[in-house]
Amino acid sequence: MSRYRSRSILLAATLIAAVALGACRDTGKDGEGRLFEISGKLFVFNYRLARATYVVTLRPLQPMGEGQVAVASFQDPAGGAPLVVEQKVWPKLDKVTLESPALTCVIKNKPYAIAISIKGSDGAVLQKIDTTLMSTEDQSILPDRPLVIDQLYTANPDLAGHPDGKLPGEPKPDCSKGI
């Protein structure tokens, strides 16, 4: 290999590394004033209860103030208005967990929007966080009805003879608006 070509390759590799490091660098300006960051987000498919939910956890980056509230707006996979959840921020806890109401029509590999606002005790928005979440499974993996009906895990009598939780002829939700 020629000396010129070796230098060109080395220069190109150095340039690529510098650009990559520059893209990852936190200038401090963007992170300044941020109160929270997302520390986890997932779809929870509770097979026993035949329900799916969004769960997002936030990690505080600064001491939390009294009276703060996290408001999450989850895209409804079935279509229609977003599902809104409001959660008080407890200053002594090391995380904030936001969970949606039960969902229908979750589709595998489709991105769903989540918008989170952190509000102060006066109602002013202190921070906004926008993200998306994709499921690795379709909601069709869930049974048609809950497998249990109480805290004692009593088997659901509606599913007698159907251990997989699938009932022949069971009406399915209309998911045409969410597609």
For the chain, 179 residues long, give each residue's pLDDT as a single digit of tens.
554 444 444 444 443 443 333 333 333 344 557 999 999 999 999 999 999 999 999 999 999 889 999 999 999 999 989 999 999 999 989 999 999 999 999 999 999 999 999 999 999 999 999 999 999 999 999 999 999 998 888 999 999 999 888 898 888 888 888 76
Return the domain boundaries, the chain: 36-140
- Report how far residue 133's alpha carbon sits from residue 52's, in angstroms, rounded to the nearest whole number: 13
**Backbone conformation region of residue 123, classed left if phi is above 0, alpha if psi is from -120 to 50, else beta:** left
How buried is residue 137: exposed, middle or buried, by Cβ count under 10 Å (0-12/13-18/19+)?
middle
Per-residue pLDDT, 175: 85
Query: Which residues, 6+ apart, have CB-to-CB distance to 45 below 8 Å?
Result: 52, 137, 139, 141, 142
How many C-beta neighbours within 10 Å does residue 102 have?
12
Whole-number pLDDT of residue 179: 67
Q: For the domain 36-140, what is the CATH code? A: 2.60.40.10
Q: What is the pLDDT of residue 96?
A: 95
What does the alpha-carbon distance between residue 43 and residue 84 come to, in Å, rounded to a whole number? 16
CA distance 140 to 148: 18
Beta-strand runs (E) in 61-174: 69-74, 83-88, 96-99, 111-119, 125-134
